[in-house]
Structure 1
Amino acid sequence: MPTTNSLDDLFAVFPCDSRCPSDFSAGFDAVLSRLSVSSSLTSRRFPVWSLVRAHLNIAFDRAIADYEGIWAIDLLAGAQLSEMAKTPPAICPELMVLVRPDGQADLHADLVATDCTAGKPVNMPEIEWQLLNLERWDANLRFAIRSLHMEGGKCSPSGEALCGVLESVRDLFRLLKSFRPRVTKAVRDFDTLVDDRTRPQHAVYCELCWRESIRSKRLQFIDDQERREVDALLSLAERPLVDLLAMRALAVSLKITKWQSSMEGLISRSRACELGLIFERFRIERMNAGNLSQRYCSIHKPGSAKYHADLRYKAAFSHHLSVLQGRGKSEFALNLPVPNSADMQEFRKTAYDQVHSGLHAVAPKGSPSMGLREKVLLMRQEGLSQSEMARRLGVSRQAISKAKKSLETLVDVHQAGSYLNPLTGEAQVPEHIRARIRDGMDRGLSVAMIAREVRLSKGTVDGLIRLMDDRDSACSS
């Protein structure tokens, strides 16, 4: 579930499409305004889907009924908008490649009946079932949008409103995936719920970069340790148990003595006592973790050299993060691209790379003045030749050529390290790049020299090196 500080960021990342009809836009905004940090996909006290039912169901159905053109409407048959998380689609698109007489290949989708389970499997957690169905419906929405587009990739004027509605529904589903319950009934392989695009819950980020705070990382480590110990203990039990997290919920919310009595008949009293001791020990560890910093990560500990080096970028970093989320105007002529389907941590990584790119001073006394590379970029967009650029700027043509190459290198360097590993929070780079970084470390090269060799930013390489050091120390211990 998101925190209070991250709600506004989430809403900024997933706005309603401007092409939507007014009634759908109003309903979309009403749903967002009523979501809170207590809301979750499975909550009965703070429900999510009842908000969708009250504010969006009718507007969604009206948008579909108002469009009279031909499109793959069957892809959305079988469930109301508010019921899609609990009901799998009846049909799905099957991709086919058709070759035209001129030899060009077209991607075509045939609609076929799905083999999805009609109901939730007995031992499947409700949240996992909902997330699975949202993925299925997202695929149908994507191909329904494609069917609305004419040749050339443009939507017909009469279908613009419906396209906007379907795109907004996709964004809504991606937004709601962040509202997972804090505690849920689950099977033993609960870790499968951590997918490639979702960070662990309760993530709080460093004020100076994209990494999670010291306290946030420690709490995640405690959760993982607790889950492993509980699983190891219960694997020795005579009777199989499935509701591991439900038992942890009882241990947290009830007194240990009451929790032990509630488990009678499922496991022995002695094993219940052992579980109670595990939960109590980790509860104390969480209390101790509350003394750790919630504002900074382990790299930016106050007083460290890295902290002082990046502190002057704090205001610029915060401002550009709001720019990427559509809440401000960029001060840069060149804006580094955000990764496709970026999550909040990757938005923050892009903002960090931008303000540390050296394009111009980030903390000037007056208004920021553009550097040579930005001036060259703007003149290049005007169509000026290198000779004319050199004459206007009073520099040599070689300096103009070097500035152009530097801009291309800057974008390439950012893109190479823009996607993050969802488990480590550092750049997801190939193994051969990590091997070259290790080799540079063995040769005693500085972070800047290694970054130039592997064509990554210094911040990216610094994080990867620290991650390698942590793993090496863990292995040695």
Structure 2
Amino acid sequence: MARLDYVLSSLSDYACDPRCPDQFAAGYNVVLSGLAESSSLTSRRYPIWPLVRANLDGALEVCIAGYSGVWAKELLSGASLSEMAQQPPQFCAMPCTESSGSLAAKVVASEFVTAKPEGMPEVDWQLLNMDRWDANLRFAIRSLLGPKGLPLSGAEALCGALESVRELFRLLRHFRPKRTGALVDFDALQDDRTRPQGEAYCALCWRLSIRSRRLQELDAQEKQEVGKVVRAGRFTGGIQETRWAQALMLKVCQHLPRSCALLSKTEVANLRAIFDRFRAERIVAGNLSRQYCSVHQPGSPKYHADLRYLAAFQHHLSVLTGAARSEFAFNLRLPDAADLQEVRKVAYDQVHSGLHAIAPSRRGSLGLREKVWMMHQEGMSQSEMARRLGISRQAISKAKKSLESLMNAHHAGSYLNPTTGEAQVPHHVREAIGNCLARGLPVAAIAKQVRLTKGTVDGLVRMMRVPFAHGEVR
């Protein structure tokens, strides 16, 4: 089915937890190796659950039996691992507030309907149950942790097995069946369960893809609207936290046992309407590009301008992660404690620095500034550099100043705003960019005036949503 080729090519993202016992890890790996593009949650010809039954049911039971401490074991009772998609859990962990005011959870009867509702597609029933069991797994793991968040003595193997089960469920959500008579609107139903999500970055730069950015926006909007419902009324801090936890449980399990629910029927109805609406929005967002950002939409001038840097950009990303050797003599430094997006920003600035020509068909030779840098590293004077290169001392001095300017411009825009994904620059710099735009200056001239790289200024201009007179950055 659509995108399963991508999922199967990245099975290492769903690897077994290293704390798992050997028997469980071996069975887990057999299950992963047995998955194919034809597999699906409901297929009889290429089934998944018999594979899980043969290799993981017994191994998980051994892990559970091997731990004798006190934990929320009942959360996993009522069904073996291979049957969890067909049977909802008998118990669930209900968020509650302790007498001390802190947030806790207690195990209560789930009150879930045990039979699939009439008219509900089988795959939706399985996915719903997997979400319910995943919530139980999460609370069960929490009950195995000590006050410092570390597994209790002897619980490491069980924690690893339960975490691996959660990873397996996350993987299997992608294996929805192909279009059938029961799913006539399947193309419209491709959503976050069939499409790999998480943060995906543009292939040509450091920015999030169009789809990832849209999903981030939807998450923020949903959280804001849910907060308005949950915070309605006057409640103490502990009860407020419990209401939040129950709202999230409602999102996952679609059900709250009324015996200990702190949300009214009206609030539950409002929250369900919010979750349903944003679910539909995520279905629409699933059709957006996961490979490119809004700056590099295929066919745009910026896309064509940066496409020739693709191979060099990907190679330098490998350099920054220690998997390859740099083709540059002068390398820009990573900011302190850089995250992945800031690493990608350094790679982008490096290959767009103009230090030497980026030729996709052959390896580019070092540019003048790089040669000057290498001689400077050897301790040569400017006169010696000029004699060796056959140019004037003024040209050497100009090259050194250009390197210093490049390094300063990159450093000024190397730290990224986690909200916008663009450079974290002072307010007066943004004002200066706005003034330059009002005067009709092109991005290259603005970058020189505010002492930032052209790519950084281009992103800030787009973020400010101010059209500039001379088009895209060339």
TM-score range, shorter chain: 0.5 to 0.7
Residue 230 and residue 373 in structure 1: after superposition, are their counterparts in 2 closer, same or farther (change >3 A)?
same
- Residue type of the alignment partner of 1:418: S
Percent identity of equivalent pairs: 55
Q: 1:272 aligns with which of 249, 268, 271?
A: 268
Q: 2:431 aligns with which of 423, 435, 438?
A: 435
Q: CA deviation at 1:262?
A: 5.3
Alignment of 1:264-303 (within 5 A): 265-303=261-299
Q: Provide Cα deviations, 1:421-446, integer angstroms capped at 9, x if missing partner.
A: 11111111111111111110111111
Residue 270 and residue 124 in structure 1: after superposition, are their counterparts in 2 closer, same or farther (change >3 A)?
closer
- Residue type of the alignment partner of 2:102: V
The question of 1:468 aligning with 2:457 is answered: no
Q: 1:122 aligns with which of 93, 102, 109?
A: 102
- Residue type of the alignment partner of 2:401: K
Provide the residue aligned with 2:324 in structure 1.
328
Following the alignment from structure 2 to structure 1, what is the Cα–Cα distance between the partners of residues 213 and 463?
Answer: 13
Runs of 4+ displaced beyond 6 Å: 3-9, 33-36, 124-127
Following the alignment from structure 1 to structure 2, what is the Cα–Cα distance between the partners of residues 263 and 303?
Answer: 57
Q: Contact (CA 8 Å) 2:311, 2:360: kept in 1 or not?
A: no
Q: Contact (CA 8 Å) 2:249, 2:256: kept in 1 or not?
A: no
Mean Cα deviation higher: 309-318 or 387-396: 387-396
Q: CA deviation at 1:284?
A: 0.7
- Residue type of the alignment partner of 1:320: H
SS in 1 for 2:241: coil
What is the number of equivalent residue pairs in this alignment?
302
Q: CA deviation at 1:364?
A: 4.7
Q: Provide Cα deviations, 1:342-399, integer angstroms capped at 9, x if missing partner.
A: 1111111100000000001122532220011111111122222222222222222211
Residue 208 and residue 228 in structure 1: after superposition, are their counterparts in 2 closer, same or farther (change >3 A)?
same
Q: CA deviation at 1:304?
A: 0.6
- Residue type of the alignment partner of 1:408: E
* TM-score, length of structure 2 as denominator length: 0.57
The question of 1:242 aligning with 2:241 is answered: yes
Following the alignment from structure 2 to structure 1, what is the Cα–Cα distance between the partners of residues 243 and 10?
Answer: 29
Q: Contact (CA 8 Å) 1:260, 1:273: kept in 2 or not?
A: no
The question of 1:363 aligning with 2:359 is answered: yes
Q: CA deviation at 1:268?
A: 2.1
- Residue type of the alignment partner of 2:331: N
Q: 2:455 aligns with which of 456, 459, 463?
A: 459
* TM-score, length of structure 1 as denominator length: 0.56
Following the alignment from structure 1 to structure 2, what is the Cα–Cα distance between the partners of residues 274 and 387?
Answer: 76
The question of 1:206 aligning with 2:186 is answered: no
Q: Provide Cα deviations, 1:265-298, integer angstroms capped at 9, x if missing partner.
A: 4222222111111111111111111000011111
Q: CA deviation at 1:210?
A: 0.7
Provide the residue aligned with 1:138 in structure 2.
none
Q: Provide Cα deviations, 1:402-459, integer angstroms capped at 9, x if missing partner.
A: 1111011111111111111111111111111111111101111111000000000000
Q: Contact (CA 8 Å) 2:447, 2:457: kept in 1 or not?
A: yes
Q: 2:380 aligns with which of 379, 384, 391?
A: 384
Q: 2:370 aligns with which of 361, 364, 374?
A: 374
Q: Contact (CA 8 Å) 1:427, 1:460: kept in 2 or not?
A: yes
Provide the residue aligned with 1:228 in structure 2.
224
Q: Provide Cα deviations, 1:231-253, integer angstroms capped at 9, x if missing partner.
A: 11222257654245544544444
Following the alignment from structure 2 to structure 1, what is the Cα–Cα distance between the partners of residues 459 and 259?
Answer: 45
Provide the residue aligned with 1:403 in structure 2.
399
Provide the residue aligned with 2:52 in structure 1.
none
The question of 1:418 aligning with 2:414 is answered: yes
Following the alignment from structure 2 to structure 1, what is the Cα–Cα distance between the partners of residues 205 and 407?
Answer: 19
Following the alignment from structure 1 to structure 2, what is the Cα–Cα distance between the partners of residues 350 and 242?
Answer: 40
Provide the residue aligned with 2:311 in structure 1.
315
Following the alignment from structure 1 to structure 2, what is the Cα–Cα distance between the partners of residues 441 and 335?
Answer: 31
Residue 234 and residue 263 in structure 1: after superposition, are their counterparts in 2 closer, same or farther (change >3 A)?
farther
Following the alignment from structure 1 to structure 2, what is the Cα–Cα distance between the partners of residues 5 and 334?
Answer: 35
- Residue type of the alignment partner of 2:418: P
Alignment of 1:182-193 (within 5 A): none
